[in-house]
Amino acid sequence: MAVDPLIELRNVNKHYGQLHVLRDIDLIVGRGEVVVVIGPSGSGKSTLCRTINRLETVESGTIVLDGQPLPQEGKALARLRAEVGMVFQSFNLFAHKTVLQNVSLAQIKVRRRKRDEADQRSRELLDRVGLSAHAGKYPAQLSGGQQQRVAIARALAMEPKALLFDEPTSALDPEMINEVLEVMRQLARDGMTMIVVTHEMGFARSAANRVVFMADGRIVEDRAPEEFFTNPRSERAKDFLSKILKH
Ligand SMILES: Nc1ncnc2c1ncn2[C@@H]1O[C@H](COP(=O)(O)OP(=O)(O)OP(=O)(O)O)[C@@H](O)[C@H]1O
Ligand SMILES: [Mg+2]
């Protein structure tokens, strides 16, 4: 069990109209832990990520980040969002800004850094994700894998306490998936706390401390990767694994 909790969800429930999309979610993620979330389409994985940085509200339950309950709104909420970075399937880069500007922008606007200082940090991060040669390019001049690595650098630029990834490689061609997963593996080795929604079972096996399997808005299993993949307990997980492992 996590000894030093960074993200704590307790008894979280959420509806979209009649649809009970998150049901009694209890999830504790320790500092430095990597949790991979898998499950069938519509099981609530994206909603779970979005509630953790308050892109969505919840109806009941509590979400605590580093000992602080999530604020409802206002400045405190903006600050919190900056503390939990999010990387989406679609990279959401600004098309009319260069790579460097994309990584520096929120540092200047939200973190109030001077441009020089922000740009210097951006260059360090672009180096870390293997893109120092591309700082002056526009997103359209990069491959999908490169754009996603820019998005990761941009999230890191805010010095987040945790990073949430929602299917970060799903929009990528196969040959680009690995370069993004490799950056994520390195972050995991560096001790970043991460929640990763992904279908990349190799990543789950090699980088995750735990696998959380969701179905119908519930956490059905929460286990060490090897245990989960070799010996899933629930019928839902067995069924899901047999489908994805056949691909
Ligand atoms: N803004 C919304 N309004 C209404 N229903 C929504 C909304 N967003 C998601 N849903 C529904 O909530 C359920 C869970 O959606 P969610 O996107 O969290 O699933 P998911 O596990 O991420 O699925 P996928 O693997 O397809 O990405 C789905 O039935 C979806 O249709
Ligand atoms: Mg989703």
Distance 89 CA to ligand 2 centre (A): 9
Contact 126, 120 (CB under 8 A): no
Distance 229 CA to ligand 2 centre (A): 21
pLDDT at 247: 60
Residue of minimum CA distance from atom 16 in ligand 1: 44
Residue of minimum CA distance from atom 7 in ligand 1: 16
Q: Which ligand is nearest to the CA of 217?
A: 1
pLDDT at 146: 97
User: Which atom of ligand 1 has the smallest separation from the CA of 56?
Assistant: 1
pLDDT at 184: 97
Q: Which ligand is nearest to the CA of 39?
A: 1
Which residues' Cβ are closer than 6 Å to ligand 1? 16, 19, 21, 39, 41-47
pLDDT, one tens digit for every residue, the chain (247 residues): 546 999 999 999 999 999 999 999 999 999 999 999 999 999 999 999 999 988 888 899 999 999 988 877 677 777 777 789 999 999 899 999 999 999 999 999 988 999 999 999 999 999 999 999 999 999 999 999 999 999 999 999 999 999 999 999 999 999 899 999 999 999 999 999 999 999 999 999 999 999 999 999 999 999 999 999 999 999 999 999 998 877 6
Tell me the whole-structure pTM to 2 decimals.
0.94
Residue of minimum CA distance from atom 9 in ligand 1: 47
Residue of minimum CA distance from atom 28 in ligand 1: 42
Instruction: Give the C-alpha separation, 189 to 211, whole Å.
Output: 17
